[in-house]
């Protein structure tokens, strides 16, 4: 791996370690090859650097006679792609294999993409990025002027190379623990990125023709219209990755330079997390269990998209799931299979919406109703009425804070006096990245939080405490983080808050009252997790204020 080679490079040139570290860090931030960045800065003699790369990979170096006099298969590849990855086709070997000069042999997907695009097996030799780019410019000067020729052939979704590349993308995404795959046509290349621990990272860039082939393949598998490239489409498919089944939710849409798609990966067998293991403090857990013990009322999990609301909701339902209770749910989609719960997925195409399903549920004698999300006024009003007529209703809402959920429901048409009577509990949450236990750094420092936040966790300003910060190693792909954990604020609707709700108080007034009654805010819960060594202050501030 490139980061292992970076360690080798630092050991080889200890006297330049600081400068090399700065160049390597910048290259990783910008998505540039470490080898190309080091070569560009001149910190290491190009010939010596090339020798180290070749030795590390046990491959030969390109010599002058290897470079072609004429372009080799240039018309079958994106020249921008070759330049970006510093790859140059040298010649076709007698056995039909394609010999490539590469500056960065770690770019295995980019190298494989060349093989897939040309339908040839590839061999590689090490070469300097500068020499490769010079030869590309000499053989294809139109790239320098920005007039890249159009591709002469389309790669279709049924082509075996496209199928193989898509399978590889799925495999690499699963290995990286990605939740989403983004495919997007850019001006000169087609970019594939994955979201890991909430952050996007570049996986691969391929020629536009290959990208169009990937999109066609995805549409075929998900039953979408392959010919429609202008209008947005939504679909789903099921695939098997490393002996595990995944449900994949797909959205395609038009962008400036073509088409894009976002794929949400949902493991087919997601394990339910126990309420006690999600990350609630003992005090918050007590508040939640007290509300769950009620026979009626409205419990809301709130936060932005991707904050873990569905996981929390499923855990709440699992806590209630006993033979004595009839539990029904309406979801989009059903992400957790919960034995004993009657789960329904919305199907707007045949008239099954959140609101219509709720009306049916009310006639099915349920004790507990789970609504995947309150999206519209009708669903909200039916849900509130259900909570007032002897049902415990659990749902999610998109707001930035627990107090914001109350004002949002009023904005959606719920009368404040009805909301005050029905609402039992609001859980606000976010997901923060967990510090890598293999490389986190310990530091004594004054926490960068307000006096109010410190008081909620029993601290004082000006007092140094032991906290942790990210560093980066092989285990965390040099990010300093691996995995995520939730931070929460749990607002119990007591008599004081009920009165403020009836008076249509602002979210700031509601939050202040909740804090005075013992609620820990999101950022305070995040600080508590910093003290426990789970995350860093910078991460908590980034997420809680985002």
User: pLDDT grade, residue 155 (50/70/90)?
Assistant: very low
Asked if 181 and 310 sit in the same domain, the reply is: no
Question: pLDDT for 496-505, tens place per residue?
Answer: 999 999 999 9
Give the mean model confidence (pLDDT) for residues 441-464: 88
Statement: residue 388 has pLDDT above 90: yes
Kindly give the pairing relationship between strand 244-255 and strand 258-267: antiparallel
Per-residue pLDDT at 76: 58
Asked if 127 and 205 sit in the same domain, the reply is: no
Per-residue pLDDT at 10: 83
Asked if 210 and 242 sit in the same domain, the reply is: yes
> Quick one: what percent of the chain has pLDDT higher than 90?
55
For 348-362, give one letter per residue: b (16+ CB within 10 A) or e. eeeebbbbbbbeebb
CATH at 461:
3.40.50.300
Mean pLDDT (the chain) is 88
Asked if 332 and 427 sit in the same domain, the reply is: yes
* For the ranges 117-126, 229-238, 266-275, 526-535, the one whose mean pLDDT is highest: 526-535
* Containing structural domain, residue 238: 160-267
Asked if 112 and 229 sit in the same domain, the reply is: no
Determine the Cα–Cα distance for residues 209 and 151; give it in Å rounded to an integer: 7
Say if residues 425 and 348 touch (Cβ distance below 8 Å). no
Per-residue pLDDT at 32: 67
- Specify if 402 maps to a domain: yes
Residue bearing the bigger pLDDT, 300 or 158: 300
User: pLDDT grade, residue 151 (50/70/90)?
Assistant: very low
CATH at 42:
3.30.300.160
- Specify if 368 maps to a domain: yes
**247 token code pair:** 């449900």
Statement: residue 145 has pLDDT above 60: no
Give the mean model confidence (pLDDT) for residues 292-312: 94
Domain boundary among 267, 288, 323: 267
Statement: residue 156 has pLDDT above 70: no
- Specify if 185 maps to a domain: yes
List own/partner pairs for 446-449 with CB under 8 A and 24 or more apart: 447/527, 447/530, 447/537, 448/537, 448/541, 449/523, 449/524, 449/527, 449/537
Q: Which residues pair with 275 in a beta bridge?
A: none
Per-residue pLDDT at 152: 34
Which positions ≥6 away from 151 have C-beta within 8 Å?
76, 78, 207, 208, 209
Asked if 250 and 286 sit in the same domain, the reply is: no
Asked if 217 and 290 sit in the same domain, the reply is: no
- Specify if 200 maps to a domain: yes
Per-residue pLDDT at 31: 57
Asked if 288 and 437 sit in the same domain, the reply is: yes
Asked if 79 and 219 sit in the same domain, the reply is: no
Q: List, as one string, the DSSP characters of 136-178.
A: HHHH-GGGTTT-PPPPSS---TT-HHHHHHHHHHHHHHHHTT-
Q: Is 96 exposed, middle or buried (0-12, 13-18, 19+ CB in 10 A)?
A: exposed
Asked if 249 and 299 sit in the same domain, the reply is: no
Say if residues 39 and 51 touch (Cβ distance below 8 Å). no
Domain boundary among 251, 267, 283: 267
Half-sphere exposure of 306 (CA within 13 A, CB side): 15
Asked if 44 and 6 sit in the same domain, the reply is: yes
User: pLDDT grade, residue 5 (50/70/90)?
Assistant: confident
User: pLDDT grade, residue 146 (50/70/90)?
Assistant: very low
Residue bearing the bigger pLDDT, 382 or 243: 382
Question: Which pTM does this prediction carry?
Answer: 0.73
Q: Which residue shows structure tokens 């999600």?
A: 278
Say if residues 541 and 438 touch (Cβ distance below 8 Å). no
Question: pLDDT for 510-530, tens place per residue?
Answer: 999 999 999 999 999 999 999
Asked if 180 and 257 sit in the same domain, the reply is: yes
What domain count does the chain have? 3
Quickly list H helices, 246-353: 282-292, 309-320
- Specify if 455 maps to a domain: yes
Give the mean model confidence (pLDDT) for residues 108-130: 85
Domain boundary among 235, 267, 299: 267
Say if residues 74 and 42 touch (Cβ distance below 8 Å). no
Determine the Cα–Cα distance for residues 244 and 202; give it in Å rounded to an integer: 24
Which range has the worst mean pLDDT, 170-184, 272-286, 348-362, 432-446?
348-362
Report the number of secondary-structure helices (H) and strands (E) in the chain: 20, 18
Which range has the worst mean pLDDT, 3-17, 298-312, 423-437?
3-17
Statement: residue 33 has pLDDT above 80: no
Determine the Cα–Cα distance for residues 420 and 120; give it in Å rounded to an integer: 68
DSSP code, position 347: B
Question: pLDDT for 407-421, tens place per residue?
Answer: 999 999 999 999 999
- Residue 100's SS3 state is strand
Which positions ≥6 away from 280 have C-beta within 8 Å?
288, 488, 490
Determine the Cα–Cα distance for residues 51 and 107; give it in Å rounded to an integer: 18
CATH at 174:
3.30.450.90
- Specify if 151 maps to a domain: no
- Specify if 149 maps to a domain: no
- Specify if 507 maps to a domain: yes
């Amino acid at each position: 791996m490139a980061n292992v080679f970076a360690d080798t490079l630092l050991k080889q040139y200890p006297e330049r370690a600081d400068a090399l570290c700065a160049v390597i860090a910048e290259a990783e931030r910008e998505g540039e090859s470490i080898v190309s960045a080091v070569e560009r800065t001149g910190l290491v003699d190009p010939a010596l650097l090339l020798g180290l790369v070749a030795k590390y990979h046990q491959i030969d170096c390109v010599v002058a006679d290897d470079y072609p006099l004429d372009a080799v298969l240039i018309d079958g590849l994106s020249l921008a792609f070759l330049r970006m990855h510093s790859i140059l086709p040298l010649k076709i070997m007698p056995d039909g294999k394609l010999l490539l000069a590469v500056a960065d042999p770690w770019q295995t997907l980019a190298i494989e993409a060349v093989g897939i695009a040309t339908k040839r097996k590839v061999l590689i030799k090490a070469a300097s990025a500068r020499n490769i780019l010079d030869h590309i410019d000499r053989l294809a000067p139109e790239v320098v002027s920005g007039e890249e020729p159009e591709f002469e052939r389309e790669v279709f979704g049924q082509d075996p190379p496209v199928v193989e590349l898509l399978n590889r993308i799925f495999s690499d995404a699963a290995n990286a623990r990605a939740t989403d795959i983004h495919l997007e046509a850019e001006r000169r290349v087609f970019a594939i990125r994955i979201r890991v621990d909430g952050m996007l990272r570049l996986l691969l860039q391929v020629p536009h023709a290959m990208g169009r082939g990937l999109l066609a393949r995805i549409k075929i598998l998900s039953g979408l219209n392959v010919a429609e490239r202008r209008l947005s489409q939504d679909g789903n498919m099921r695939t098997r990755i490393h002996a595990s089944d995944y449900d994949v939710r797909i959205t395609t849409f038009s962008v400036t330079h073509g088409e894009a798609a976002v794929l949400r990966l949902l493991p087919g067998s997601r394990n339910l997390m126990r309420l006690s293991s999600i990350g609630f403090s003992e005090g918050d857990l007590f508040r939640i269990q007290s509300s769950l013990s009620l026979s009626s009322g409205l419990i809301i999990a709130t936060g932005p998209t991707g904050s873990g609301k569905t996981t929390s909701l499923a855990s709440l339902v699992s806590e209630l799931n006993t033979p004595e209770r009839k539990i029904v749910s309406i979801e989009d989609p059903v992400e957790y299979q919960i034995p004993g719960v009657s789960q329904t997925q919305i199907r707007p195409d045949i008239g099954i919406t959140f609101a219509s399903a709720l009306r049916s549920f009310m006639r099915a004698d349920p004790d507990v109703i789970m609504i995947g999300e309150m999206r519209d006024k009708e669903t909200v009003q039916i849900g509130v009425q259900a909570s007032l007529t002897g049902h415990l209703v659990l749902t999610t809402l998109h707001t930035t804070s627990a107090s914001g959920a109350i004002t949002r429901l009023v904005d959606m048409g719920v009368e404040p006096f009805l909301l005050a009577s029905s609402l039992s509990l609001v859980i606000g949450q976010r997901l923060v990245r967990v510090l890598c236990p293999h490389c986190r750094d310990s530091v004594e420092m004054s926490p960068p939080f307000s006096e109010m936040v410190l008081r909620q966790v029993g601290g004082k300003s000006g007092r140094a405490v032991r906290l942790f910060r990210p560093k980066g190693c092989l285990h965390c792909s040099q990010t300093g983080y691996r995995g995520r954990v939730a931070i929460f604020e749990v607002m119990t609707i007591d008599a004081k808050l009920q009165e403020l709700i009836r008076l249509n108080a602002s979210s700031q007034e509601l939050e202040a009252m909740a804090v005075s009654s013992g609620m820990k805010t999101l950022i305070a819960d995040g600080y508590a997790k910093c003290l426990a060594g789970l995350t860093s202050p910078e991460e908590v501030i980034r997420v809680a204020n985002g």
